Structure 1
């Protein structure tokens, strides 16, 4: 069952943190794809210190950014756990100079700051020999001869070892869900390497719910998740139901010093507004350095996003999806009582903004962050038919917000539409 808190949430912070922050390689995939040897990848354990990790400072920053929930990688595909697991020696507690249960500090700080606690967990474990004991159901083993981290790579299957691996995943999930307070959201990854039947996805979901019946599970559980998670490419149309768009601030999920391809604050805020317009939420990723600090460019984006949200809260929280892009060439949201439209204006208009297809008459238009009232006019109105026509808002002289300007369009009643052909007159001779 979808929890109301998540249905209403607008912003989450994703955190990819692990030994991959030590060198300049991508998380897990770098050894899987042959960019670095597995042995050299694992040598990064020696440099992972978490020496400046301050979970409370993280939580304070994410709260300031306007987030309602946070999701941290408890274990990526490399199998290195950020928590003190008794089922494997491969953890930052046992294998790195950090020697700390980072999940414990994280969950306590996020919860204390009043945000919901989420954990990312890789179903895949490319370090565990028991994982690579079967081929994906229905596939030809010959197609997996080079797949040394995921399958027997030409060798025979060992179904018993696979069952042991599933039990290992269950055990680590039990640790995460029973030793760190209430986990509100589980963000799985890697389901594509096996079928729902091989993962025992239905039983696995029931097992998770037996420990927390209210836990929300993302879509990456071979059809047994609760909501859609489009990644990196922002959807043109919002998926059905509750959904979340996850993306990076630069091009990498984890910290890479060589990745300077940063999105600007305005780009990130525009993507956020697109998610709101389409009825979704944004899960924005940061990649901390090995010592637990964040690159100042990532901090700046979070602070700017928080400033935009703080200045325009009523247009963001407790709103629903906005007008279609056919009606307004920009983003928008609608108030919960459906009597106010909020328009996101990304650049200074040269003259008028145009809103089409809204049947309910407007009673007032103002700039949300200043309260300045704007003039407006209609064209094509047909008073005798109750059609107000096309709304034109004079907006070239208004005071712009430094990031994105929001206009508050108050209606005389609940919004109604005239869509389709727009109810224009075709017989009036």
Structure 2
């Protein structure tokens, strides 16, 4: 085991002191020439049980497009670069009046906007869906709307709906399609606010509702609706999300509709979480962190480095179970910036060299490792090595693998790599230099389903009991918000311990800590669970549960009926006792 505590309490009473038992040995996962001796837990992180949300998760990699009237300015106002803020918000940062902004619309002719080219580029990059700005904070609609004349059809000489053409082309080329929709609208009356945290007055709701209904009924099937910013009330969030669910019931709604009404959590810009998150989530990523909309004076350099960085971002997000939505910012004339196209093609080339390592692959429970990331595709394990050893023994260590190994080689090569077992760890000897200069991938062919032995696994003692302290507990994280971007906070939604027993046992679980008294919790041991009120969770043992010997068994506590996926568990867990049912330690 990665962690053999071997400290077991034979007695744990309300007035008695804990007595430690001698360390308990845990069987080594595999001998050098043998197979697994301890059955681990499934190592693959699967999709949501909701089939529609699972279908969105399986899109994995998409193209974000920030394009609008702001693109015509390219980050420049009155001949000078506007260096403050993102260029798609230039109207605010340069304090441009609406009349002056309308004059920009009068010369807006995106005749080089080519949906076929954009869709082809997305497919070359390996992307499976496209999300485009229907309306950004400036309130200028890039679609044909009847709610206002402040749109691309009525206020520009272009006079056409480019988003309808893009939606049709996505469908033609087999890509899914979605909309970005800003809840901040300077044209409808919001003040310039550097935090974009404006409340939504009731007078603005009819326009938002009308535009959402237009977007949800005129462009075919919608895969994703990406709301952004503002600080709506809970009732407004429910109303806006409800319109989408009424008209596009299969569309995934992001969390920036706020008040925890979304289907998946949108992380911060370019954010890769330190650990895998529970539930569905997405990272919005940009080629340049300085802007999302087109900026004519943006530095565009080191193409290989940019490709390498973004491939690393894609892999990091996918290995932790998220979707990766990577942005381009076309020019005002609609053309794609050549550097951005080259970046996407470079990423697509890397994906072509490793066709099964990311797209179609799943996240794993290994999490981020010192040398890189791990994904799995059926019985093939892919080690994405961002830190290739440059000195020493050139070994790469994969901890806690509980599945037999058939072969190891660099992905794309038939040359076998030397490997060995060191306890539970697979140790691979790497060559001095990798084959792939962007991000090398080592392919491990498994002899069965991926199973792992978590690092904090604890062996039950001779009396089949153990006390696990906070350091032994794995925490499941998500996010929640109180109605705005700046109220978003990380939450703990799960506590999990992993134990092993030498033989089959009937066990109970006792919790020391503090829980929400009226909350209903689910305590699950293996495949069996019990429901218990928080007031009772920390006062009495929960069980009995049956466990098998020679197997890692998860002990998990979650809310039984969470109001939303990111609801805080509300359980401070100081220690967890696992002991035979009816024993003196079962309190």
TM range (shorter): 0.7 to 0.9
Segment of structure 1 superposing worse, 42-51 or 351-360? 42-51
Q: How does 1:214-233 map to 2 (within 5 A)?
A: 214-222=250-258, 223-232=260-269, 233=271
Segment of structure 1 superposing worse, 260-269 or 84-93? 260-269
Q: How does 1:26-425 map to 2 (within 5 A)?
A: 26-27=86-87, 29-129=89-189, 150=198, 162-190=201-229, 192-197=230-235, 199=236, 201-222=237-258, 223-232=260-269, 233-250=271-288, 251-260=290-299, 264-325=306-367, 329-335=371-377, 337=378, 339-350=379-390, 351-379=394-422, 381=423, 389-397=424-432, 400-420=435-455
**Residue 345 of structure 1: CA displacement?**
1.8
Give deviations 1:272-300, integer Å, cap 9, x for gaps: 11001111121000000011111111011
Query: Following the alignment from structure 1 to structure 2, what is the Cα–Cα distance between the partners of residues 264 and 343?
Result: 21
Contact persistence 2:112–2:334 (CA under 8 A): yes
Cα distance change of structure 1 residues 412 and 247 upon mapping to structure 2, 3 Å threshold = same
**Residue 47 of structure 1: CA displacement?**
3.4
Contact persistence 1:242–1:280 (CA under 8 A): yes
Cα distance change of structure 1 residues 395 and 148 upon mapping to structure 2, 3 Å threshold = closer
Give deviations 1:368-409, integer Å, cap 9, x for gaps: 223332121233x3xxxxxxx332212225651232121111
Query: Following the alignment from structure 2 to structure 1, what is the Cα–Cα distance between the partners of residues 432 and 53?
Result: 43
Query: Following the alignment from structure 2 to structure 1, what is the Cα–Cα distance between the partners of residues 454 and 210?
Result: 54
Over aligned residue pairs, what C-alpha RMSD do you find?
Answer: 2.8
| Unmatched runs of 5 consecutive residues or more in structure 2 | 1-49, 76-85, 462-587
Query: Following the alignment from structure 2 to structure 1, what is the Cα–Cα distance between the partners of residues 444 and 143?
Result: 49
Query: Following the alignment from structure 1 to structure 2, what is the Cα–Cα distance between the partners of residues 163 and 398?
Result: 62
Query: Following the alignment from structure 1 to structure 2, what is the Cα–Cα distance between the partners of residues 243 and 150?
Result: 25
Give deviations 1:95-143, integer Å, cap 9, x for gaps: 22322211111101111110111111112211113x57xxxxxxxxxxx
Give deviations 1:159-194, integer Å, cap 9, x for gaps: 9xx44421111111111111121122111112x333
Segment of structure 1 superposing worse, 228-237 or 288-297? 228-237
Cα distance change of structure 1 residues 16 and 401 upon mapping to structure 2, 3 Å threshold = same
Query: Following the alignment from structure 1 to structure 2, what is the Cα–Cα distance between the partners of residues 182 and 12?
Result: 16
Query: Following the alignment from structure 2 to structure 1, what is the Cα–Cα distance between the partners of residues 133 and 250?
Result: 20
Q: How does 1:2-21 map to 2 (within 5 A)?
A: 2-21=52-71
Query: Following the alignment from structure 2 to structure 1, what is the Cα–Cα distance between the partners of residues 280 and 343?
Result: 25
Query: Following the alignment from structure 1 to structure 2, what is the Cα–Cα distance between the partners of residues 182 and 420?
Result: 44
Which residue number in structure 1 is paired with residue 18 of structure 2?
none
**Residue 236 of structure 1: CA displacement?**
1.7
Query: Following the alignment from structure 2 to structure 1, what is the Cα–Cα distance between the partners of residues 256 and 61?
Result: 20
Query: Following the alignment from structure 1 to structure 2, what is the Cα–Cα distance between the partners of residues 145 and 176?
Result: 26
**Residue 271 of structure 1: CA displacement?**
0.6
Contact persistence 2:372–2:383 (CA under 8 A): yes
Contact persistence 1:367–1:398 (CA under 8 A): no
Query: Following the alignment from structure 1 to structure 2, what is the Cα–Cα distance between the partners of residues 67 and 80?
Result: 27
Query: Following the alignment from structure 1 to structure 2, what is the Cα–Cα distance between the partners of residues 286 and 330?
Result: 26
Contact persistence 2:143–2:161 (CA under 8 A): yes
Segment of structure 1 superposing worse, 297-306 or 233-242? 233-242
More strand as a share of residues: 2
Cα distance change of structure 1 residues 261 and 56 upon mapping to structure 2, 3 Å threshold = closer
Which residue number in structure 2 is paired with residue 138 of structure 1?
none
Cα distance change of structure 1 residues 290 and 331 upon mapping to structure 2, 3 Å threshold = same
Query: Following the alignment from structure 2 to structure 1, what is the Cα–Cα distance between the partners of residues 147 and 248?
Result: 21
Cα distance change of structure 1 residues 82 and 23 upon mapping to structure 2, 3 Å threshold = same
Q: What TM-score results when the alignment is normalised by the length of structure 2? A: 0.62
Query: Following the alignment from structure 1 to structure 2, what is the Cα–Cα distance between the partners of residues 147 and 65?
Result: 33
Query: Following the alignment from structure 1 to structure 2, what is the Cα–Cα distance between the partners of residues 118 and 85?
Result: 17
Segment of structure 1 superposing worse, 14-23 or 90-99? 90-99
Query: Following the alignment from structure 1 to structure 2, what is the Cα–Cα distance between the partners of residues 24 and 58?
Result: 19
**Which structure is richer in relative contact order (CA contacts within 8 A, separation 6 or more)?**
2
Aligned length: 392
More helix as a share of residues: 1
Cα distance change of structure 1 residues 204 and 23 upon mapping to structure 2, 3 Å threshold = closer
Instruction: Report SS of the residue matched to 1:47.
Output: coil
Contact persistence 1:10–1:281 (CA under 8 A): yes
Larger gyration radius, structure 1 or structure 2: 2
Give deviations 1:177-217, integer Å, cap 9, x for gaps: 11121122111112x333223x2x22332222221221211
